[in-house]
Structure 1
Amino acid sequence: MAPVDAPTKLSRSARAIEDVHASAPRLGVFVLDGLIVLAACLLAGATAAAAVAAVAAFLAVGRLTNLYSDRSLDAQGLSWYLRLLPYPLLAVATALVVAGHHGTSLLGPVLGVGLALTAVRAAAWFSVSARRRRREGLTGALLVGDPSRTHNIARRIKAFPEAGLQVAATFAPTNTNGERSRARGLLKSGAVSHILVAADAHDEALIAECLSWTDGRPVEVHLVLPVGVQPSHGSRIGDLSVLTLRRANASRMFWGKRLIDILGSALLLLFLAPVLMLVSLAILLYDGRPVIYRQKRVGRDNREFTTWKFRSMVVGADKLNEQYASDNVANGLLFKLPGDPRVTPVGSMIRRLSL
């Protein structure tokens, strides 16, 4: 096992810049982003109340959707940030719409927020990558696997310092000369922050062992894939694809997605409100109430749920099934009539336009 080079310590200001680029969940990052969102909204013409609401919406949704999260290898360049940014921007748009902004008064602040935040991350990455190329602030990595594989990985880590790693040591699982205990010693001392496993997909025992070493320690375990393998997600060290093996926070991810669904639906309803009002008025003027038809449906796992939709048939249409039974052209639970006389003229338009 090779001797360990102590990582270069970063100054407080350099660490703060790294936190900004990686959108780490730190108070300083939240304050900076909040000020950027506030300023961008105000400069684009948003009211003070709308700008404050936009700040709260951006930070809350950003935290729930993992825009703000502790990350390491995946925080290279800007692609990861641009992939996560649309969700908080949607929250900003929703907050502005609720506050009464529409059209250009809505588009300007949203674009301003997106461009300003991206520019700040680009500047931060320029600073971070320059320091890493000078070998400053690199974190220790333990390479696990066959010596020929770990040698190739070590070469790429040295050639691509932008990943933020330096090789602390290598460990061959077949070596029985006390390397396991020395590897654990490195982890315990804090000299290693990452374990890179160069193992075949079937080597589950080795991966499980490496994961067990990290219990209670701020150490990430990564699976290094063969050259040429490109998964749909993951990080990179040069031309190597790397998958981070971590336990996902399922609860937070669920609520983050749920919040996005609710915000997106609310925003869509606000945009469609004029159309929905016209359809409701047409039904009401043609044959009165009810405007909405409620129906029970069976969904996943045979669970019943209630649907609401615009009424497209005459009132009491379901009670006329027996009268038109001889004309039914469907089987089973479906009841379908050619040129269905129960459908109103307004209902025909609703169905044709899928309203």
Structure 2
Amino acid sequence: MREDIGEVTTSLHRPATSTSNSRSGMPYDSFEWQQEPPPSNGVPRSAWTRSHRRLSRWHRPYTAILVLLDLLSATLASWLAVTFIEKANSGFQGREEIFYLVAFAALPIGWIVVLWGNGSYDRRYLGLGSEEFKRVVRGFVTVVACVSLLSFATKTQLSRVTIAYVTTASLIFILFCRYSARQILHVARKKTGHGAHRMILMGTLPEALEVYTAVTRSPAAGLIPVAIHITDGYAAARGIETPVPVYAARDVLTLVRECGADTIAVCGSASAEPGELRRLAWQLEGTGVDLVVAPQLTDIAGPRVHIRPIEGLPLLHVEEPTLSGPGWLAKNLMDRVVAFFGLLLLTPVLAIIALGIRLSDPGPVFFRQPRVGHEGRTFRVWKFRTMYVDAEERKASLEELNDSDGMLFKMKNDPRIFSFGNKLRATSLDELPQLINVLKGEMSLVGPRPLPADDGDYLGDVRRRLLVRPGITGLWQVSGRSDLSWDEAVRLDLYYVDNWSLTYDLSILWRTIGVVLQRKGAY
């Protein structure tokens, strides 16, 4: 942490520039300063000289790669259709030149135009979240509609099988390529910091540190805080250890240049003074610096937040969590159906596991324990037994070796677990009997983990977990499982409760497969 107090400048005056910070000295590869910024009141010289270049440039080559991948995906789908489907069914008999022109030129280019029009190349949606994929799917619907309309308008007899094959294959290839590109981008962000935004956090120190914790929790998001500009005076930060340098009373643009940043995040009450945020936005126009506002709405997902402007005042409305309705009914139906067929299909596997437990240690095959469920109701959870029969009696002597900082008892090398039980825990196969609880309606496939009923009353924030049925898997499991602290596990469970959706459940189920195969935090 450092003290750096300079002259306070207003947003309506051009900031002083420092000649010591040249472009060649910037440490970040996707950072570039324009040599002559426009006036700081945001009024451009003319429509022809106004610049839209951003300091963060990673999205330009990334977008170009996506365009190329989308083009290749659509072309590959057309080639497969030409190769494996009779051209006689396409409606282009005797006009092969037109057929090839449409299949390998018009249709792929049409895909690019439609995807661009649907905003699937918008940098705001690239690299994180599901919005990018949703827009690709919308583009798919648009392409099918356009092809059908053109076929009707030109009276061309197109094969429905051919159209379905080409468009569906294109969609699958595009989604796969974009997902792969995103994973490579995430690896680059985590390992090297390339393809990320360098942020300066503006606000009071507690607000800035809260935002710092939130954005650094997910390196894949590509947000790297490099400095904090506190608005409540440097004295508020004296004697406090901070993860990045702290500045006070500095000109914003000068600080951005010195830190090599490309984004300013206004935290909480930093914009409390009327008109100050607007003046800051004016000052940043034409500089290429992104401006984001981080309101104090932690752990609330986008679908619950809506902006409703009233007379120029953007009001941020936060909707209640949706814990009922058609989506909730679909979740319950999916739970019962998957549990029924899962138990039916996995019967041989369950029998083999039961035999392995009996051979490893004499005693019951299943472990039944009271757990707290929906709205505080208790039930007995079904699990394969992985510990010796005297495990509960030996627990008291191991309390000092607890690796967990919360209500659950966890040990990485628990001597109460027999050898075959270790294998079951590592692969999460010991959780399979909980499908019985799902079938009975006591649990769900996805939800917070069921906590033991004898470990407290679960008051305060923890009790909010009981608004939904506990799950076999959940956000806790796919985010680190037993490696997480108790507070972090509770935070993830509460995030799930507040932001539940059927799509989110399917995403967690998909992520669970990878976590189980990698055996992360399983002990």
- Give 1:187 shift: 2.9
**CA 1:134–1:31: 2 relative to 1, 3 Å:** closer
Q: Can you list the C-alpha shifts for 1:130-188, whole angstroms capped at 9, x where unaligned?
A: 12222421331010111001012112333321111211211122338983534321334
| Counterpart position of 1:155 | 213
| Counterpart position of 1:35 | 72
**CA 1:94–1:216: 2 relative to 1, 3 Å:** same
| Counterpart position of 1:9 | 29
Contact 1:59 1:88 in 2 (8 A): no
Equivalent-residue separation in structure 2 for 1:48 and 1:94 (angstroms): 21
The answer to whether 1:53 aligns with 2:73 is no
| Counterpart position of 2:289 | 219
Note the 1:270-349 alignment, pairs <5 A: none
Note the 1:129-278 alignment, pairs <5 A: 129-137=186-194, 138-175=196-233, 179-188=248-257, 191-200=260-269, 205-225=275-295, 226-232=297-303
Equivalent-residue separation in structure 2 for 1:103 and 1:203 (angstroms): 61
Determine which of 175, 187, 192 is the counterpart of 1:118: 175
3-state SS, counterpart of residue 228 of structure 2: strand
- Give 1:66 shift: 1.6
Equivalent-residue separation in structure 2 for 1:230 and 1:159 (angstroms): 15
Equivalent-residue separation in structure 2 for 1:207 and 1:16 (angstroms): 25
- Give 1:194 shift: 1.2
Contact 1:54 1:91 in 2 (8 A): no
- Give 1:39 shift: 1.7
3-state SS, counterpart of residue 232 of structure 1: helix
- Give 1:113 shift: 0.7
Give me the identity figure in percent. 13
**CA 1:195–1:204: 2 relative to 1, 3 Å:** farther
Q: Out of 211-220 and 224-233, give the one that drifted further.
A: 224-233
| Counterpart position of 1:260 | none
Q: Can you list the C-alpha shifts for 1:22-64, whole angstroms capped at 9, x where unaligned?
A: 6x2x3x5434322221221231247423322222222222222
**CA 1:152–1:135: 2 relative to 1, 3 Å:** farther
Q: Which ranges in structure 1 are unaligned for 5 or more consecutive residues?
A: 235-240, 242-355
| Counterpart position of 1:109 | 166
Equivalent-residue separation in structure 2 for 1:9 and 1:196 (angstroms): 21
Note the 1:53-72 alignment, pairs <5 A: 53-71=106-124
The answer to whether 1:83 aligns with 2:134 is yes
- Give 1:195 shift: 1.2
Equivalent-residue separation in structure 2 for 1:159 and 1:211 (angstroms): 27
3-state SS, counterpart of residue 144 of structure 1: strand
Q: Can you list the C-alpha shifts for 1:250-283, whole angstroms capped at 9, x where unaligned?
A: xxxxxxxxxxxxxxxxxxxxxxxxxxxxxxxxxx
| Counterpart position of 1:319 | none
Equivalent-residue separation in structure 2 for 1:16 and 1:205 (angstroms): 30
Equivalent-residue separation in structure 1 for 2:100 and 2:135 (angstroms): 26
Contact 2:66 2:178 in 1 (8 A): no
**CA 1:89–1:220: 2 relative to 1, 3 Å:** same
Contact 1:158 1:166 in 2 (8 A): yes
Equivalent-residue separation in structure 2 for 1:102 and 1:181 (angstroms): 66
**CA 1:233–1:108: 2 relative to 1, 3 Å:** farther
Residue identity matched to 1:79:
S
Equivalent-residue separation in structure 2 for 1:192 and 1:16 (angstroms): 12
Q: TM-score, normalised by structure 1?
A: 0.54
**CA 1:89–1:59: 2 relative to 1, 3 Å:** same
Equivalent-residue separation in structure 2 for 1:233 and 1:191 (angstroms): 34
Contact 1:147 1:172 in 2 (8 A): yes
- Give 1:128 shift: 1.2
Q: Can you list the C-alpha shifts for 1:59-94, whole angstroms capped at 9, x where unaligned?
A: 2222222222233xx433461222111332234324
Contact 1:197 1:222 in 2 (8 A): yes
Equivalent-residue separation in structure 2 for 1:172 and 1:16 (angstroms): 27
Contact 2:205 2:230 in 1 (8 A): yes
Equivalent-residue separation in structure 2 for 1:182 and 1:135 (angstroms): 29
Equivalent-residue separation in structure 1 for 2:160 and 2:273 (angstroms): 56
Equivalent-residue separation in structure 1 for 2:274 and 2:160 (angstroms): 54
- Give 1:190 shift: 7.6
3-state SS, counterpart of residue 192 of structure 1: coil
- Give 1:95 shift: 4.8
Contact 2:198 2:226 in 1 (8 A): yes
Equivalent-residue separation in structure 2 for 1:230 and 1:35 (angstroms): 34
Question: Cα RMSD over matched residues?
Answer: 3.7
3-state SS, counterpart of residue 76 of structure 1: coil
Equivalent-residue separation in structure 2 for 1:16 and 1:143 (angstroms): 20
**CA 1:42–1:54: 2 relative to 1, 3 Å:** same
Equivalent-residue separation in structure 1 for 2:121 and 2:115 (angstroms): 6
Q: Out of 205-214 and 106-115, give the one that drifted further.
A: 205-214
Contact 1:33 1:117 in 2 (8 A): yes
